[in-house]
Amino acid sequence: MSFHKIIDSRNIKLFTNLGRSKGNYLFDSNGKKYLDMYGNIGSLPVGYNHKRLQELNLESPEIKKLLIHRPALGVNPPIEWKKHVELLYKNYSPGGLDFMYVACGCGSGANENAFKAAFVKFARNNYSEYSMEDRLKTALDNREPGSPNISILSFKKGFHGRTMGCLSTTRSNAWHKINIPAFNWPVAPFPQLKYPLHENEFINFLEEEKCLEETVKILKENKTIAGMIIEPIQAEGGDRHASNDYFIKLRQLALDEDVTFIVDEVQTGVGSTGKLWGHEYWSDDKKYLPDIMTFSKKMQMSGYFCKSEYKTDSPFQTFNTWMGDPFKVILSNEIYKIIADEKLLENSTTTGEYLMRELLELEDKTGKIRNIRGKGLFIAFDCDNSILLKERLIENNINIGTCGKQSIRIRPSLILSKKDVDFFIYKLKKSLL
């Protein structure tokens, strides 16, 4: 029986030879070599077959035990679990978020449980007048007060996952949602900025103010909004940016309205933007920290950091059997060391700036790409037909991603070099002809 008859393979573009792939370069099953500017949809932090990850002692008694078992971490964790989780928190936690939840699965699972945490806090503050007996009884019937009619505010063109709750906040592509029911939760406009940003500051300021005014109106009119979720850069929705000032004002609005502020760092996290977390660009003032920050992709696992007040009333409200993968926690901690030792945040910034300059020069020379935008190595540009350009780039040994019909998304590993950038620009020029 052929492969495509037993599994839905319609998304598969190529099979990767992981044994031959190295650094930013991957080989497919036919031996063709590609510069990987997409990095497994932005989830490959230090490239293929990094020497230090290869040197992890997979034969050590501890790792061998973790690989042959999949412990139920929420109830029966291995004795080594404590030290690994504490190190994970120390390495990755944004200052001021003093609790961590390690989830099972992908970014959707992280966001789903973040929603639950926001809902529990809201109900704790607004439904405490009801007896626990009434709340428990009505919860089983999916009605108030036990199952309250509350919501999460999201933003147009945002993407937060494909599970049922997350789909109610995903607004990037109708194909994610067609034929699938969703909660009728509110949605606010996200600024549609004009590029280049430095030439359109006043126009963009007016656009952001208009969007903020509309968000204020939505929050004032709907007092059942428990939280809002937003990406530091809207990724799947077209790599849409907003100013630091916009995010600060939005965060202040959440504080004023007592609405949980959830920042989705699934795609922007772990160095892609040149900082460990994308929201770190907004302000150094701890006042503007998110209440909850979700992660996945380059973290090699999913979960969230939050303020301790967002612990749920019962651990089983965010419980699953595995609660993550302990080996991936070990892997993530080693990745953090590599990022620090090899100064990959700095590399993300400097190489990203170099790539941006080269793209802007190519725009001036050809006029075939436009709206170049990005932070660090989290970069995108527009063209007339992104699907066609992607196909040409793949023919020319570049693995790349798209967003919609016009945007090309660049998501390389943090080890990308200027030499890699030169090769990419050379192949991009060739593909634009």
Q: pLDDT for 104-137, tens place per residue?
A: 779 999 999 999 999 999 999 999 889 989 999 9
> What is the CA 150 to chain-centroid distance, rounded?
24
CATH architecture for the domain at 3-53+343-432:
Alpha-Beta Complex (3.90)
pTM greater than the 0.85 cutoff: yes
First to last CA, the chain: 41
Per the structure block, which two tokens stand in for 223? 């007092």
pLDDT cut 90: percent of the chain above it = 88
Rounded Cα gap, residues 386 and 401, in angstroms: 9
Task: Tell me if 197 sits within 8 A of 360, measured CB to CB.
Answer: no
Beta bridge partners of 407: 382, 403
Decide which of 1.20.58.760, 3.40.50.720, 3.40.50.300, 3.40.640.10 is the CATH code for 70-339: 3.40.640.10
Catalytic residue among 36, 239, 264, 325: 264
How much is the mean pLDDT over the chain?
A: 95
CB 195 within 8 A of CB 371: yes
Number of helices (H), then strands (E), in the chain? 14, 15
Structure tokens at 165: 């709750």
pLDDT band with cut points at 50, 70 and 90 for residue 4: confident
Would you say residue 1 has pLDDT above 70?
no
Domain boundaries, the chain: 3-53+343-432, 70-339
Of 14 and 400, the one with more pLDDT: 400
268 is known as an active-site residue = no
* Confidence at residue 8, expressed as pLDDT on a 0 to 100 scale: 86
Give SS3 for 14. coil
pLDDT digits (tens, 9 = 90+) for 312-368: 998 888 988 999 899 999 999 999 999 999 999 999 999 999 999 999 999 999 999
Query: Is 15 a known active-site residue?
Result: no
CB atoms within 10 A of CB 81: 18
Q: Are 42 and 413 in contact (CB under 8 A)?
A: no
User: Which two tokens mark 182?
Assistant: 């969703």
Show Cβ contacts of residue 348 under 8 Å, excluding neighbours closer than 6 positions: 271, 272, 273, 274, 376, 377, 414, 416
Is 202 annotated as catalytic? no
Q: Active site residue: 159, 295, 378, 381, which one?
A: 159
Query: In this structure, are residues 171 and 157 in contact, taking their beta carbons and an 8 Å threshold?
Result: yes
Distance from the Cα of residue 135 to its chain's centroid = 34
What pLDDT digit, counting tens, does each position of 223-246 carry? 999 999 999 999 999 999 999 999
Q: Which of 121, 275, 297, 390 is catalytic?
A: 297
Q: Of these residues, 83, 313, 321, 365, which one is catalytic?
A: 321
Confidence of residue 280 (pLDDT cuts 50, 70, 90): very high
Is 159 assigned a catalytic role?
A: yes
Residues 118 and 227 sit within 8 Å (Cβ to Cβ)? yes
How far is the C-alpha of 250 from the C-alpha of 184, rounded, in Å?
A: 22
Q: What are residue 293's phi and psi, to 5 degrees? A: -130, 120
